[in-house]
C-alpha cells in the first residue's frame, strides 16, 4: 500500500460541487480580500513588529517585512494557481494530496494545525493583554495569564491561574462561525475597515514625530548587548527579523481554505490571495518605518517600557498631545485580533473538515450543522483544543511554532506547483504562476531560509510535533483513509 497514493482531481472537484452536502458558496472577491486582510493585520503588525525590531533587525525591520513579503509573494502566486485550479476547502493540505500523495498531505495538514490552531491561541492571548490594558488592569493577573507566567511587584510574586479573557473571545468567535460563513465575513469586513483606518491614522500622525536619529544605525551593530549570533544583528538580523514578522503574513493563505465557499473561485481566489497580500505589505512597511522612527528600537526589549503593548506605549510616550490615539489604537488592535482569530478558527475547521472527508481524522470533524451548513463539531472541538493552549500556555511559546507551520506549508505548496506542471501539464489552469520553475524554487528557498532563522528551541518543539503527527498517521489514519485498498 503506497504512502504516496494520490486523490483523483476529478472526484475531488465533483465532491466540492455537491451543493446539497457540501459547504455553501457565499463569498465574493471582496469578501475574500477582506478575509485575507482580516487575518494578516493583527498580532503580526501590532506585536511582532516591535519584537522583530528589538530582538533582531532594529530599524531595518522594514527590510525584514520586504524579505518576508517576497517569500510570501512567490508562495502566494503558487497558492493562487492551486486555489483557482482546485477550489476546495483544505488549502495546502488538499493541494499536496493531489500532487504529492497522502503522506505528504498528512504531514502538511499536521503542520497547518500549528499555523491556524496555535496561531488563534497566540492571538487570543495577545487580545487578553490589550483588553486588560484598555480596562486599566481590571482583570486580575491570576485570571489573565497562564500558570507558567509570574510577576513580582513590591516583593510580592503573583502567578497566573488561567487566561480567562482569551477563552471568552475564542468562545464568542466560535459561536459566530457556527452561525454561518457569510455572517462571519460581514462582521470581519466591518472590523477590517476599522483597523485599517486606525493603522493609516497612526502612520499619518506618527510621521511628524519620527526622530531621524532613531534610524541610525539602520541595522543593529555586531557586539551589541543581547544580540550575539548571526540572526541577531546586521544583515543576518534582517533575516532573523523576517522569521519573526513572518507571523504577520499568515493571513493570505487562510483565504485559500475558503475556496469551497467562494462564488467564483477561479476568478476570486487569485484576487483574494494576492490582493490582500499587496495591501498589507504596503501598510506594514510604512507602519514599521514610523514605529521605529518614533521610538528607539531598544525600548521594545525593555519590560519596563515598550516590550508589551508596544504601539500604545510609543504613542503615549513619544507622541504628546495624541494620547487619545493610544486608546483608539488599543480598540483597533482588539478588533484586529478578533478578526485574525476568526479567520484562523475558520481556516483550521475547514482543514479538519476536508481531512475528515478523506478518513484521516474522525468523521465528527466533517459533520455539518443541519441548518447553518457549517462544520460545527469541528468548530467546537477546535475551541477546546485552542482554548487549552490559550488558557494555560504563554503566547510567545506558540507564536514561533505558528510561523514554522506556515513556512513549511509554503515550501510544499511552492514545490507542488512545479511538480504538477511537470506531471500534468495538460490540466486546466484558470490562473498560472509565472516563470515556473523560477518562482516556485525562489518561494521554497526563501521560506526555508526563514525556517532556519527560527530559534533552535522552537525548531525542536516543531520536530517533536511532527514526529507525533507521524505516529498518529501510521497508527490511525493510514488504515482508515478513503483511499485505503486492502492488499
pLDDT tens for 71-84 read: 888 888 888 888 77
**Nearest one of 305, 301, 342, 275 to 127, comparing CA atoms:** 342
Sign of the CA dihedral running 67, 70, 72, 74 = negative
What residue spans define the domains of the chain? 9-452
Q: How far is CA 202 from the centre of its chain?
A: 23
pLDDT of amino acid 328:
81
Cα gap 356→359, rounded to integer Å: 5
- Beta-strand ranges (E) seen in 82-183 are 150-153, 156-159
Specify the higher pLDDT residue, 78 or 343: 78
| Residue 204 pLDDT class (50, 70, 90 cuts) | very high
Specify the higher pLDDT residue, 251 or 318: 318
Q: Is 139 exposed, middle or buried (0-12, 13-18, 19+ CB in 10 A)?
A: middle
Q: Yes or no: say if 37 and 276 are a contact pair by the CB < 8 Å rule.
A: yes
Cα gap 275→433, rounded to integer Å: 15
- CATH tag for 9-452 (out of 1.20.1600.10, 1.20.1740.10, 3.40.225.10, 3.30.750.24): 1.20.1740.10
Point out which residues pair with 157 in neighbouring strands.
152
**Nearest one of 114, 124, 125, 121 to 461, comparing CA atoms:** 114
**Nearest one of 401, 410, 454 to 72, comparing CA atoms:** 410
Cα gap 159→289, rounded to integer Å: 36
Cα gap 98→12, rounded to integer Å: 9
Residue 428 makes CB contacts below 8 A (sequence gap 6+) with 85
Q: How far apart are the first and last CA of the chain?
A: 7
Identify the weakest region by mean pLDDT among 1-10, 111-120, 293-302, 313-322.
Answer: 1-10
Q: What is the DSSP string of 437-453?
A: THHHHHHHHHHHHHHHH
pLDDT of amino acid 98:
81
User: Could you tell me how many helices (H) and strands (E) the chain has, helices first?
Assistant: 19, 2
pLDDT of amino acid 171:
94
pLDDT mean across residues, the chain: 83
| Residue 383 pLDDT class (50, 70, 90 cuts) | very high
pLDDT of residue 412 exceeding 50: yes
**Nearest one of 335, 308, 319, 333 to 137, comparing CA atoms:** 308
**How much is the pTM?**
0.74
Largest CA distance in the chain: 75
Mean pLDDT value of segment 322-347: 82
pLDDT of amino acid 15:
60
- Count of Cβ atoms closer than 10 Å to residue 171 Cβ: 13
Amino acid at each position: 500500500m503506497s504512502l504516496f497514493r494520490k486523490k483523483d482531481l476529478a472526484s475531488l472537484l465533483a465532491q466540492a460541487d455537491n451543493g446539497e452536502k457540501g459547504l455553501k458558496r457565499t463569498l465574493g472577491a471582496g469578501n475574500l480580500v477582506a478575509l485575507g486582510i482580516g487575518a494578516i493585520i493583527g498580532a503580526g503588525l501590532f506585536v511582532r513588529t516591535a519584537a522583530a525590531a528589538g530582538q533582531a533587525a532594529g530599524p531595518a525591520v522594514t527590510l525584514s517585512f520586504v524579505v518576508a513579503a517576497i517569500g510570501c509573494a512567490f508562495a502566494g502566486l503558487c497558492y493562487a494557481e492551486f486555489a483557482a485550479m482546485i477550489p476546495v476547502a483544505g488549502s495546502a493540505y488538499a493541494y499536496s494530496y493531489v500532487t504529492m500523495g497522502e503522506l505528504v498531505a498528512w504531514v502538511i495538514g499536521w503542520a497547518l494545525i500549528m499555523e491556524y490552531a496555535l496561531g488563534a491561541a497566540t492571538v487570543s492571548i495577545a487580545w487578553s493583554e490589550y483588553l486588560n490594558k484598555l480596562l486599566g488592569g481590571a482583570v486580575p493577573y491570576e485570571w489573565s495569564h497562564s500558570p507558567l507566567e509570574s510577576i513580582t511587584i513590591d516583593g510580592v510574586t503573583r502567578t497566573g491561574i488561567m487566561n480567562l479573557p482569551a477563552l471568552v473571545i475564542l468562545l464568542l468567535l466560535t459561536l459566530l462561525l457556527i452561525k454561518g460563513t457569510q455572517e462571519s465575513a460581514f462582521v470581519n469586513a466591518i472590523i477590517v475597515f476599522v483597523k485599517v483606518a486606525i493603522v493609516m491614522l497612526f502612520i499619518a500622525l506618527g510621521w511628524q514625530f519620527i526622530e531621524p536619529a532613531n534610524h541610525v544605525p539602520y541595522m543593529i551593530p555586531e557586539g551589541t548587548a543581547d544580540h550575539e549570533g548571526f540572526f541577531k544583528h546586521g544583515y543576518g538580523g534582517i533575516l532573523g527579523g523576517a522569521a519573526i514578522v513572518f507571523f504577520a503574513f499568515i493571513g493570505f493563505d487562510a483565504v485559500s481554505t475558503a475556496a469551497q465557499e467562494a462564488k467564483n473561485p477561479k476568478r476570486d481566489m487569485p484576487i483574494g490571495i494576492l490582493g490582500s497580500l499587496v495591501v498589507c505589505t504596503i501598510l506594514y512597511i510604512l507602519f514599521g518605518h514610523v514605529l521605529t522612527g518614533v521610538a528607539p528600537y531598544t525600548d521594545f526589549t525593555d519590560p519596563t517600557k515598550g516590550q508589551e503593548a508596544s504601539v500604545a506605549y510609543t504613542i503615549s510616550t513619544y507622541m504628546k498631545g495624541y494620547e487619545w490615539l493610544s486608546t483608539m489604537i488599543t480598540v483597533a488592535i482588539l478588533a484586529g485580533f478578533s478578526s485574525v482569530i476568526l479567520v484562523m478558527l475558520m481556516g483550521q475547521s475547514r482543514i479538519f473538515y476536508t481531512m475528515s472527508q478523506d478518513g484521516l481524522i474522525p468523521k465528527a470533524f466533517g459533520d455539518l450543522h443541519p441548518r447553518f451548513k457549517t462544520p460545527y463539531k469541528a468548530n467546537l472541538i477546535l475551541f477546546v483544543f485552542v482554548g487549552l493552549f490559550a488558557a494555560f500556555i504563554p503566547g510567545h511559546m506558540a507564536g514561533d511554532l505558528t510561523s514554522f507551520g506556515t513556512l513549511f506549508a509554503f515550501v510544499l505548496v511552492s514545490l507542488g506547483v512545479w511538480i504538477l506542471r511537470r506531471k500534468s501539464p495538460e490540466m486546466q489552469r484558470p490562473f498560472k504562476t509565472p516563470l515556473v520553475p523560477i518562482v516556485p524554487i525562489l518561494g521554497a528557498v526563501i521560506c526555508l531560509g526563514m525556517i532556519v532563522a527560527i530559534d533552535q528551541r522552537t525548531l525542536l518543539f516543531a520536530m517533536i510535533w511532527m514526529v507525533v503527527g507521524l505516529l498518529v498517521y501510521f497508527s490511525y489514519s493510514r488504515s482508515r483513509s478513503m483511499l485505503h485498498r486492502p492488499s
